[in-house]
Amino acid sequence: MKNKITIAIDGYAACGKSTLAKDLAKALGYTFIDSGAMYRAVALYCLENHLIDTNGVVNLEQLEKSIGSLQIEISSDQKVFLNQKDISEAIRTPRVAGIVSKIAAIKLVRQKLVEQQQALGKAGGIVMDGRDIGSVVFPNAELKLFVTASDAIRTQRRLAELRSKGEQQSEADVLDNLKSRDLQDSTRAESPLIQVADAMVLDTSNLNREEQLAWALLEVQKIIEQQ
């Protein structure tokens, strides 16, 4: 078996990154890390501990004091733990989605999470998805993908996901959240979402899960053969 590679997947909200990353990791026997879940965990922590007020103002001083002791873990079955508490469901609510981009724009939050993400990927054999994976977390990743999908498809996918969890949100509100996060994520000062020059673009609008996986696996195979 040739060396295990690192796969970095970036893209806008609800474009199918995590689904592809998860499927790729399963097919290759690699570790999958949803870096967005880690930012959502910090956002949930801020909500639960009143570190963000109703106007969206973050108590940076308090956050700085507590961030060092925050323990965020992702188990192999993709459960997310914050200080040993299972928060897998709690981080997927519209409330968390409403503030996560604000929290993810904070430098000290990014420093802490990027450090943890780089440590997780040190040995290779990892598929990580997010917004700054190919640009900042793993700039030397052997395969970088930039995933896109139309607004309509992204909205339908996220609506279905929320409904399956019993969350009721209108189509307009879902689209609104996706667009506002995309704007915040791609215009922030700290490692904004960009399409790096060496990323391959994959538009998943007209591909099903199996088709997008097959496409990506072919790319992985080409890279492994060239090693």
> What are the CA-CA distances from residue 6 to residues 12, 40, 144, 192 (Å)?
20, 23, 9, 21
* 33 lies in the site for ligand CDP, by CB under 6 A: no
- Tokens found for residue 19: 């689904």
What tokens does 196 get? 């790096």
CA torsion sign for 20, 119, 190, 199 is negative
Strand-strand pairing, 200-203 and 80-82: unpaired
Give residue 9's Cα distance to chain centre: 9
Footprint (CB under 6 A) of ligand CDP, residues 129-148 = 130-133
* Binding-site string for ligand CDP from residue 173 to residue 202, where x marks contact by CB under 6 A and - marks none: --------x---x-----------------
Find the binder of ligand CDP among 14, 67, 149, 199 (CB under 6 A): 14
**Pairs from 162-166 (Cβ < 8 Å, separation ≥ 24):** 162/92, 162/94, 165/89, 165/92
Q: Which stretch binds ligand CDP (CB under 6 A): 31-39, 59-67, 139-147, 195-203?
A: 31-39
Binding of ligand CDP by 16 (CB under 6 A): no
- Choose the binding region for ligand CDP from 49-57, 76-84, 126-134, 217-225 (rule: CB under 6 A): 126-134
Q: What does the alpha-carbon distance between residue 41 and residue 145 come to, in Å, rounded to a whole number?
A: 24
* Site stretch for ligand CDP (CB under 6 A), options 59-67, 100-108, 143-151, 198-206: 100-108
Q: Which stretch binds ligand CDP (CB under 6 A): 32-40, 48-56, 168-176, 204-212?
A: 32-40
- Interacting residue ranges for ligand CDP, rule: CB under 6 A: 13-14, 18, 35-36, 39-40, 100-101, 104, 130-133, 181, 185
